[in-house]
Amino acid sequence: MSRRAAVLGHPISHSKSPALHAAAYAKLGVDIEYSAIDVTVDSLPSFMASLHGDDSWCGLSVTMPLKSAMVQEVDEIRGAGAHLGVINTVVFEYDGGLVRRVGYNTDVGGIVEAVRYAGVVSTPHAAILGGGGTAAAAVAAVQELGARQVDVFVRDAGRAGDAEAAAAAVGIAVTVRPLTEAATAVAGTDLVISTFPPRAGDSLADELSSLPGTGAGVLLDVAYDPWPSRLAEVWQGHGGAVVPGLEMLMYQAAEQIRRFSGCDVDAAVIDVMCDSVGLPRRVF
């Protein structure tokens, strides 16, 4: 029987996840049909209810704005997601006639692997732009990378709850700061992770462009359409290194593929995933 998996989010037509997953499953020789489904926060409960009784499903990828809402739709959360309260992966586990929906957060590992591949071994201080579900994963990721303190820049301090909760959960000091302070602050930071949606960082980029080049550190911009983002262009122009959001997406997808298929994702699979979205093949 063909199995099914999908990425859920709103909007979702821009997602590169179907290309990544399809390439991997073809290389692995497993029969999993992967699609993109537009689901809003309000429609998520009814969508999840519609899956009851359909044992063809093996997994769901979860993107904005559903990462917090999906927590209420699973039976159990394992790994980083359990203490972050934010998940981006649902695995369907079958035992006889029973199904258990298990949530995970593969964004944390995706961020860590993408940044490490760019050459960042560790960082004592980091900055995060945005305060939502992806920012929560970014907080956990920079803690894993050795950061002892993180600044979170948001337009509205009331929207930093996910990031603050994540910092408390992983034991890292966090300072929530207004976005109006970000330009001068991040210019001298070793590692900056932008969790803004596409184009939301353009005004910050314009502010940065007016500052003198400072030999900026590493920027991971999770937005990847359009690419390069205005923020990435300015950052690179200031002498900094840029990690495309596609790198994070590819690495977090690799862990999803392992869990959905039960197969090992080796270097050959990673290479075809890179090919599918225009990333360079890995050099290890």
**Active-site amino acid positions:** 67
The rounded distance, in Å, linking the Cα atoms of 64 and 276 is 22
Alpha helices in the chain (DSSP H): 17-28, 44-50, 80-84, 107-117, 133-144, 161-170, 182-186, 202-209, 230-237, 245-261, 267-277
| Alpha carbons 39 and 182: distance in angstroms, whole number | 32
Query: Hey, what amino acid is at 75?
Result: D
* Peptide bond preceding 280 in cis form (omega within 30 of 0): no
CA distance 72 to 83: 14
Distance CA 174, CA 150 (A): 5
- 3-state DSSP call for residue 173? strand
CA distances from 145 to 55, 107, 115, 172, 235 (A): 39, 14, 9, 11, 21
Whose CA is closest to 234, among 192, 175, 178, 195?
192
Residue 2: strand, helix, or coil: coil
Q: 152 Cβ partners below 8 Å, 6+ apart?
A: 127, 128, 130, 131, 135, 139, 160, 163, 164, 167, 174, 175, 176, 177
**Cα–Cα distance, 128 to 225 (Å, whole number):** 19
Alpha-carbon span 231 to 37, nearest angstrom: 29
